[in-house]
Structure 1
């Protein structure tokens, strides 16, 4: 084929491929090497005779032919392998197989061209020189190990691109590519890790799916006086309400061991992110919420120290959050539910109520669950969430101090109508149904005043007509009388 004809043919292929790549968003067309081949062919075709005579024609022709052949090889791989897989004619072959094909084809092309164009018998030169063969064998020993290990990894397929591999404490990440000699991974911080295939083949690896679910065990020490059934129930509840923990498989808490200063519990949770960063996030979230949950019930995290206590009878739980009666009276006085109560009645409720804390992202109440407590925000902001038609929770509104919620569960014993989640560390005043009994018992007028206030609030929020408002009022009053009178 004439040089000019080769240039025209190769150029036409490149232009056509580039056009279709832009139009149909095809894989990148190899441009660099074919362009070099075009320039080399053009320069050789119009090289002055004086210069051409001074250059060894065998080596020059071999170099140009090699460049052209490698360019045709790249285009052939693009047309025969990359393009069909992109348009889904057949699955994309593994990168290591593509590299092996290009390496083999390139080696064969090189041997043929050097033998024909440069009159060099490469095979005979290598096979007749024992020293050269030994040097090449020793130099390529590790590379050959990596090459054959890569082939075995592709045949066995213990992992694929996208899987998460745990190779060691400091070498973990998602598999990006398996090449002829190495395996490329991307760690949690975006860094690229390159491991020789022989190392990957010989060492034990732990494979996790790219997007979970991955099981994690968290070990937690709790006070020996905390009943195990209550402890495991508390740990499970915290895990269920954590957004980073999957609902299925469900979390599970068990007693792991007894120690000198504490009881160790194992909390088993499942998460989407299998990386160490994902584990640190879910562990930190759970431990943070556990601290607040323990404080609310008068428990604490034990320490490995010896404590000597003089005890007379059962020990009382330690109160961590200061329960100021003055503060509680002030908070209750701001609540419109109790605006018709006198000072003595408010003080009575305040003595029985309690200040409690919730951590960020912790669920205070959950939709459709039963409960007999109402909450008033002392500090912080909460989000009101309701399930949509798709089952996903959607934020309806946000509340801040001195807003309150949960009154219908106390006065009408209705299930929670929404989920309430703390958006930051929140301090709430918790008032249980039993805390109101001493104030409301044998006081029908006070009960009727409360029913009126609650019904007016519900009517304003629901836009009820007068007839419905009266009906709901009678039902609520009847229910409150059965509870408190």
Structure 2
């Protein structure tokens, strides 16, 4: 009857443990410890049954010692769960540091073991260890690595280089999410699902890269694109693909820029941010982005470059007529649309056009800088530019924005004065450049054309300012004198005074 009651009581205790465990998991509470209490119940049940079977009396004290130790450990574990873990979920009081909890458990468990062995089994553990030098040396040598892991675990928990749930990379070889950090080891969950156990001594003595449980994490992708694809367009296409990809975060925003010039291509760097910190996640994102970029390039009419080797005798490069690819007729048409040269005849325009050229500028590039000498004027062919003045205190102020067909820089060309403002492109732009020396063949022996240009430049300046008629006439005379001084050898038979009088 005693055995039956013992089995029934053990069954009921185990049933209560499993019921509490089920409730904890259902309500997402800290799970109650089950293994050690179950072991204590089983040991109690077995020893009680053995006592009823006339077991040898000399063995009973040892069985009682085992039962008392297992029961004490079970009570200690249940007490920690009930007083430290369970209340913190209910916000009754803050969770104590893990290092204090583990050290406290270790000390209390050691004291319980020593007391039970001392009182129950009549074994003087402290005296046995301290009086045996050989045993002490053996224990010290055997526990050397364990002590390293133990003290490394204490340092890791005090310094906190990582926490449970973080994604870490150890020595660029092992990576995973931190599952647990104990006094002896650290357990990682690999991206492929494997559980990795690392000794704390190794974790402390090696390099660790720490990420959060998830991103954002920066990813850099380098790729080569064709030399003929303008960099502005190339970076625009790369960022367009990145912004539309679902795995790329909107914040921080993706960026793309020229990284280097290769022998057969331009190397670009595309930097994107994603949540997944694993290499596997990066491989998936990089593969999808590269595939989408291929299709975008095909739609753009270009392909990915590849090295081509051609053996031929060295020749001098052919002279470049126009860097941006605008032919002579196109430049004649552009000059005809210019407010300063639109009145010229076709013959005169054809004399200037071969000396001019169209230049391509990137977005944000300064075409002219305030205070610099000016030897050329520009006409906007494509794109837009903005005029910026430097104010007191070094503050830049935007004063105007110029579109297609407008000109700038003519005052420095005809007056030999420094640039009065900075002009910077707001997008990729093509500008027609007309230098001062380009006008010399046209003005040679043609003083009336000098007079005409002076009048047009002065009228253009008057449109930008509100001045009286007398001031405008004085400025016109001054401008003509400056142009006459600049082109003094080109005025032919008319005297400088006669030209000034006509103005």
What range is the shorter-chain TM-score in? 0.5 to 0.7
- Aligned runs of 1:359-438 on 2, under 5 Å? none
Structure-1 separation of matches of 2:22 and 2:53? 44
Structure-2 separation of matches of 1:218 and 1:76? 53
Deviations 1:82-138 (A, max 9, x none): 322333323445666544433322211111111111111111111122222122112
My pick for the range that moved more, 267-276 or 253-262, is 253-262
Q: Secondary structure at the match of 1:83?
A: helix
Q: Which of the numbers 225, 228, 231 marks the counterpart of 2:231?
A: 228
Q: Secondary structure at the match of 1:188?
A: coil
Tell me the equivalent position of 1:277: 280
Tell me the equivalent position of 2:117: 114
Structure-2 separation of matches of 1:43 and 1:241? 67
Structure-2 separation of matches of 1:166 and 1:216? 16
Tell me the equivalent position of 1:139: 142
Structure-2 separation of matches of 1:262 and 1:250? 26
Alignment of 1:187 onto 2:214:
no
- When residues 295 and 39 of structure 1 are mapped into structure 2, their CA distance, relative to the original with a 3 A threshold, is closer
Alignment of 1:65 onto 2:68:
yes
Structure-1 separation of matches of 2:128 and 2:106? 21
- The answer to whether the 8 Å contact 2:171/2:206 transfers is no
- The answer to whether the 8 Å contact 1:95/1:178 transfers is no
- The answer to whether the 8 Å contact 1:7/1:38 transfers is no
* C-alpha deviation, 1:297, in angstroms: 1.9
Tell me the equivalent position of 2:127: 124
- The answer to whether the 8 Å contact 1:246/1:269 transfers is yes
* C-alpha deviation, 1:148, in angstroms: 1.2
Q: Secondary structure at the match of 2:54?
A: helix
TM superposition score normalised by structure 1:
0.57
Structure-2 separation of matches of 1:154 and 1:6? 43
Alignment of 1:246 onto 2:249:
yes
- The answer to whether the 8 Å contact 1:291/1:300 transfers is yes
Structure-1 separation of matches of 2:64 and 2:39? 15
- The answer to whether the 8 Å contact 2:258/2:267 transfers is yes
Q: Which of the numbers 304, 308, 313 marks the counterpart of 1:305?
A: 308
Q: Secondary structure at the match of 2:289?
A: helix
Structure-2 separation of matches of 1:159 and 1:207? 7
* C-alpha deviation, 1:219, in angstroms: 0.7
Structure-1 separation of matches of 2:53 and 2:179? 52
Q: Which of the numbers 216, 220, 224 marks the counterpart of 1:217?
A: 220
My pick for the range that moved more, 145-154 or 33-42, is 33-42
Deviations 1:398-447 (A, max 9, x none): xxxxxxxxxxxxxxxxxxxxxxxxxxxxxxxxxxxxxxxxxxxxxxxxxx
Deviations 1:131-151 (A, max 9, x none): 221221121111111111111
Q: Which of the numbers 194, 197, 201 marks the counterpart of 1:198?
A: 201
Structure-1 separation of matches of 2:55 and 2:71? 19
Q: Which of the numbers 164, 167, 170 marks the counterpart of 1:167?
A: 170
- When residues 180 and 10 of structure 1 are mapped into structure 2, their CA distance, relative to the original with a 3 A threshold, is farther
Structure-2 separation of matches of 1:235 and 1:272? 20
- When residues 7 and 117 of structure 1 are mapped into structure 2, their CA distance, relative to the original with a 3 A threshold, is farther
Tell me the equivalent position of 1:286: 289
Q: Which of the numbers 100, 104, 126 marks the counterpart of 1:101?
A: 104
Q: Secondary structure at the match of 1:172?
A: strand
Tell me the equivalent position of 2:436: none
- The answer to whether the 8 Å contact 1:224/1:261 transfers is yes
TM superposition score normalised by structure 2:
0.56
Q: Structure 2 unaligned segments of length 5 or more: list them.
A: 322-503
Tell me the equivalent position of 2:377: none
- Aligned runs of 1:3-14 on 2, under 5 Å? none
Tell me the equivalent position of 2:32: 29
My pick for the range that moved more, 108-117 or 49-58, is 49-58
Structure-2 separation of matches of 1:170 and 1:93? 33
- The answer to whether the 8 Å contact 1:10/1:34 transfers is no
Aligned residues: 312
* C-alpha deviation, 1:185, in angstroms: 1.1
- When residues 291 and 238 of structure 1 are mapped into structure 2, their CA distance, relative to the original with a 3 A threshold, is same
